[in-house]
Amino acid sequence: MSEYNHVVNKDGEVDMAKVDDVLDRISESRKEGILSDFDSFQKYLNKRIDLGKSIGLSDEQLVRMAEKIASYLSDNEEPRNHEEKLLQELWKVGTPEEQHSLSHLLVKLAQTSYGS
Protein backbone atom coordinates (compact mmCIF):
# COMPACT_ATOMS: atom_id res chain seq x y z
CA MET A 1 0.00 0.00 0.00
CA SER A 2 1.43 3.37 -0.93
CA GLU A 3 1.98 6.23 1.45
CA TYR A 4 -0.97 7.94 -0.25
CA ASN A 5 -3.31 5.43 1.46
CA HIS A 6 -2.04 6.08 4.99
CA VAL A 7 -3.20 8.66 7.53
CA VAL A 8 0.36 9.14 8.82
CA ASN A 9 3.07 9.88 6.25
CA LYS A 10 6.71 8.84 6.47
CA ASP A 11 7.59 12.13 8.20
CA GLY A 12 5.11 11.40 11.00
CA GLU A 13 2.63 14.03 9.88
CA VAL A 14 -1.06 13.19 10.29
CA ASP A 15 -3.44 13.87 7.40
CA MET A 16 -6.85 14.01 9.08
CA ALA A 17 -8.56 14.27 5.70
CA LYS A 18 -7.61 10.63 5.04
CA VAL A 19 -9.20 9.20 8.21
CA ASP A 20 -12.64 8.78 6.60
CA ASP A 21 -11.07 7.01 3.60
CA VAL A 22 -9.26 4.57 5.87
CA LEU A 23 -12.42 3.91 7.88
CA ASP A 24 -14.42 3.36 4.69
CA ARG A 25 -11.96 0.62 3.66
CA ILE A 26 -12.64 -1.48 6.78
CA SER A 27 -14.80 -4.44 5.80
CA GLU A 28 -18.28 -4.77 7.24
CA SER A 29 -17.35 -7.96 9.07
CA ARG A 30 -14.31 -6.24 10.64
CA LYS A 31 -16.48 -3.24 11.66
CA GLU A 32 -18.96 -5.63 13.24
CA GLY A 33 -16.18 -7.29 15.21
CA ILE A 34 -14.91 -3.94 16.45
CA LEU A 35 -18.30 -2.43 17.23
CA SER A 36 -20.18 -5.51 18.40
CA ASP A 37 -19.65 -4.60 22.05
CA PHE A 38 -18.06 -1.73 23.93
CA ASP A 39 -15.21 -3.86 25.25
CA SER A 40 -14.16 -4.79 21.69
CA PHE A 41 -14.29 -1.13 20.70
CA GLN A 42 -12.09 -0.12 23.65
CA LYS A 43 -9.57 -2.86 22.85
CA TYR A 44 -9.44 -1.75 19.22
CA LEU A 45 -8.99 1.88 20.23
CA ASN A 46 -6.24 0.94 22.68
CA LYS A 47 -4.36 -1.01 19.99
CA ARG A 48 -4.54 2.00 17.67
CA ILE A 49 -3.34 4.31 20.46
CA ASP A 50 -0.39 2.00 21.09
CA LEU A 51 0.40 1.95 17.37
CA GLY A 52 0.19 5.75 17.18
CA LYS A 53 2.49 6.13 20.16
CA SER A 54 4.98 3.67 18.66
CA ILE A 55 5.32 5.84 15.55
CA GLY A 56 5.70 8.99 17.61
CA LEU A 57 2.25 10.59 17.56
CA SER A 58 1.64 13.08 20.35
CA ASP A 59 -1.27 12.74 22.78
CA GLU A 60 -3.00 15.64 21.03
CA GLN A 61 -2.62 13.97 17.61
CA LEU A 62 -4.11 10.78 19.05
CA VAL A 63 -7.04 12.72 20.49
CA ARG A 64 -7.63 14.52 17.19
CA MET A 65 -7.72 11.16 15.41
CA ALA A 66 -10.13 9.77 18.04
CA GLU A 67 -12.26 12.87 17.50
CA LYS A 68 -12.32 12.28 13.74
CA ILE A 69 -13.21 8.61 14.25
CA ALA A 70 -15.99 9.47 16.70
CA SER A 71 -17.44 11.93 14.23
CA TYR A 72 -17.31 9.32 11.47
CA LEU A 73 -19.01 6.71 13.66
CA SER A 74 -21.70 9.15 14.73
CA ASP A 75 -22.45 10.05 11.10
CA ASN A 76 -22.07 6.62 9.47
CA GLU A 77 -22.70 3.77 11.88
CA GLU A 78 -25.73 2.70 13.85
CA PRO A 79 -24.99 2.05 17.53
CA ARG A 80 -24.82 -1.66 18.32
CA ASN A 81 -25.13 -1.38 22.09
CA HIS A 82 -26.21 0.99 24.84
CA GLU A 83 -22.75 2.48 25.37
CA GLU A 84 -22.39 3.34 21.69
CA LYS A 85 -25.87 4.87 21.68
CA LEU A 86 -24.98 7.04 24.67
CA LEU A 87 -21.71 8.15 23.05
CA GLN A 88 -23.53 8.96 19.81
CA GLU A 89 -26.14 11.05 21.62
CA LEU A 90 -23.49 12.89 23.65
CA TRP A 91 -21.53 13.53 20.46
CA LYS A 92 -24.54 14.93 18.64
CA VAL A 93 -25.50 17.39 21.39
CA GLY A 94 -21.92 18.44 22.19
CA THR A 95 -20.23 21.57 20.98
CA PRO A 96 -16.92 21.10 19.12
CA GLU A 97 -15.10 21.84 22.39
CA GLU A 98 -17.18 19.26 24.26
CA GLN A 99 -16.58 16.70 21.50
CA HIS A 100 -12.84 17.33 21.82
CA SER A 101 -13.08 16.80 25.59
CA LEU A 102 -15.06 13.60 25.07
CA SER A 103 -12.35 12.40 22.70
CA HIS A 104 -9.74 13.02 25.40
CA LEU A 105 -11.86 10.96 27.80
CA LEU A 106 -12.28 8.09 25.32
CA VAL A 107 -8.54 7.91 24.74
CA LYS A 108 -7.91 8.03 28.48
CA LEU A 109 -10.53 5.33 29.12
CA ALA A 110 -9.03 3.01 26.50
CA GLN A 111 -5.53 3.54 27.92
CA THR A 112 -6.67 3.03 31.51
CA SER A 113 -8.76 -0.04 30.74
CA TYR A 114 -6.12 -1.82 28.67
CA GLY A 115 -2.80 -0.62 30.11
CA SER A 116 -1.43 1.77 27.51
Kindly report the backbone phi and psi dihedral angles of residue 14, in degrees, each rounded to the nearest multiple of 5, phi listed first. -95, 130
Higher pLDDT, 19 or 61: 61
**How far, in Å, CA of 58 to CA of 41, rounded?**
21
Given a contact cutoff of 8 angstroms between Cβ atoms, the answer to whether 100 and 63 are in contact is: yes
pLDDT at residue 66, as a whole number: 93
The closest alpha carbon to 102, from 81, 82, 86, belongs to 86
Neighbours of 110 (CB within 10 A): 23
From CA 11, how far away is CA 14, in angstroms rounded? 9
Flag whether pLDDT at 85 surpasses 50: yes
- 103 or 116, which is more confident: 103
Tens of pLDDT, residue by residue over 42-79, are: 999 999 999 999 999 999 999 999 999 999 999 999 99
pLDDT at residue 19, rounded to an integer: 79
